[in-house]
Amino acid sequence: MSVTINAHQLGRLIDKTINHMGSEYVEPLHGIRLDADAKYLYTVASDRYTLAAARYELNHGDKNQEPWARTIPAEYLRSLREWIQSMKGAGLITISTAKDRLIFEGPRTDLSIAVTTGLEFPDWRGLLRSMVETTVEGDLFPCLNSGYLSRFNTGDILRVRFTADQKPAVVFSEDFIGALMPARFAGVYPCKEETFESAHKSWLWTLAAGSTDASLDGAAYEEERPLYDVTTDIRETGETLLQQALQSGWDMHGKSKEKPDEFLAHCLAAVNGWMAFRYLDALHNVDPRAAQAVVAEVADELDSGEIGEFAWDAATKAGFDPQKWHDDYEAHKQKLAEKEAAEAAATA
């Protein structure tokens, strides 16, 4: 029984769940559960107050693969994470099970971890399923322990579903699902105000001094950005590239005959926007952190306004001859100018 995953994605799965491990006094929960089925590889962790599961879709799609699961003990996670970081993000790791071992085979080195096969891990699928399928009850005013919220801070945007005051909150993000138990479950009295009405009432004196139409959407609160501000956010970058591809495609219509130069410019912008998005999307799927680092680095380069210098240096470093490109381009422009001059003289 084995699965294959690239190094970065395995590290990402561990990072998304490691903050949710149980303590050393609860052995079955003191680690990260590695769980594989016919479609996904999961990492799962819980300390009974939070529950987190991250997944990676396997490429082989072997519908006949027998599901398996092993718990990686907490004391081995640091060495495993360091071993993963020692290789390139795109390097493939094959994970297989042995008698009492988990074996990680990398491009250059292997790692073997002792596991206890008899440890019973909670039915995390069943727990999350029951939470997700719970119907929403009444007016919600959930009570949560803020100390546990930070465990979900992995840089992702989370969607939250509340079902009832004394039921877990379920969170979703890309390839991630988790749950946060209500504070009462932790044995802590939720808060002084048990209902929304009583909490609202306790703040009436303060809030009454505010207007009923206050907003942060006014012009006074708008960010004073320059005309072209390069974003360092990877999602915004992807959105900008897709907008460029679509808008340039729309602008091509009706310009082929009237203004061929504009048509060509829009065509190139559409093609380059789509190519850049596809390359960024592929990099993000392989190594999201590398993709984010590239987006931030490119944003700095664009802000500097020295794109020509950067492109020239990159071409030289890659073994190309940018000076020849420049000379050929100048010769091409000269040839076009001579052609236009000859056509103008002929029609004069």
The enclosing domain of 114 has a CATH number of 3.10.150.10
pLDDT the model gives residue 215: 66
1 in Cβ contact with 96 (< 8 Å):
yes
Q: What is the DSSP letter of 212?
A: T
Q: Is residue 272 included in any domain, yes or no?
A: yes
Q: Render pLDDT for 324-334 as a digit per residue (tens, 0 to 9).
A: 989 998 998 89
pLDDT at 120 over 80: yes
Phi, psi angles (nearest 5°) of residue 256 = -65, -35
Q: Is residue 211 included in any domain, yes or no?
A: no
Residue 188: pLDDT band with limits 50, 70, 90 = very low
Which of the two residues, 254 and 171, has the higher pLDDT score? 171
What residues make up the domain containing 265?
A: 234-347
Q: How many CA atoms lie within 13 A of 215 on its CB side?
A: 6
pLDDT at 99 over 50: yes
Q: Is residue 249 included in any domain, yes or no?
A: yes
Residues 240 and 140 reside in one and the same domain: no
Residues 174 and 238 reside in one and the same domain: no
Q: Structure tokens of 112?
A: 């073997």
5: alpha, beta or left, given left = phi > 0 and alpha = psi -120 to 50?
Answer: beta
pLDDT at 240 over 90: no
Residues 20 and 161 reside in one and the same domain: yes
Helix count (H) and strand count (E) of the chain? 11, 11
Average pLDDT, the chain: 83
Residues 174 and 265 reside in one and the same domain: no
Residue 205: pLDDT band with limits 50, 70, 90 = confident
Q: Among 77-86, 184-193, 263-272, 311-320, name the one with the lowest average pLDDT.
A: 184-193
Residues 285 and 168 reside in one and the same domain: no
Residue 148: pLDDT band with limits 50, 70, 90 = confident
Residues 15 and 159 reside in one and the same domain: yes
Q: Is residue 209 included in any domain, yes or no?
A: no
pLDDT (average), residues 45-72: 84
CA dist list (Å): 6 to 69, 91, 175, 224, 287: 19, 5, 16, 42, 9
Q: Is residue 216 included in any domain, yes or no?
A: no
Express as a percent the part of the chain with pLDDT over 70: 89
Q: Is residue 88 included in any domain, yes or no?
A: yes
Q: Is residue 188 included in any domain, yes or no?
A: no
Q: Structure tokens of 302?
A: 């664009």
Residues 52 and 129 reside in one and the same domain: yes
pLDDT at 42 over 80: yes
pLDDT (average), residues 146-151: 85
pLDDT (average), residues 237-259: 78
Short-list 145, 201, 202, CA closest to 168: 145
Q: Is residue 190 included in any domain, yes or no?
A: no
Residues 167 and 255 reside in one and the same domain: no
Residues 147 and 34 reside in one and the same domain: yes
pLDDT the model gives residue 124: 92
Separation CA 29–CA 190 (nearest Å): 25
pLDDT (average), residues 178-193: 62
R_g of the chain, CA atoms, integer Å: 28
pLDDT the model gives residue 303: 77
Residues 35 and 146 reside in one and the same domain: yes
> Based on the structure, what is the number of domains in the chain?
2
pLDDT (average), residues 235-241: 87
Q: How many CB atoms lie within 10 A of CB 150?
A: 8
Its pTM surpasses 0.75:
no
pLDDT the model gives residue 225: 56
pLDDT (average), residues 46-70: 83
Residue 264: pLDDT band with limits 50, 70, 90 = confident
51 in Cβ contact with 183 (< 8 Å):
no
Separation CA 66–CA 164 (nearest Å): 37
Residues 131 and 55 reside in one and the same domain: yes
Residues 140 and 12 reside in one and the same domain: yes
Amino acid at 265: A
Separation CA 268–CA 263 (nearest Å): 9
pLDDT at 185 over 50: no
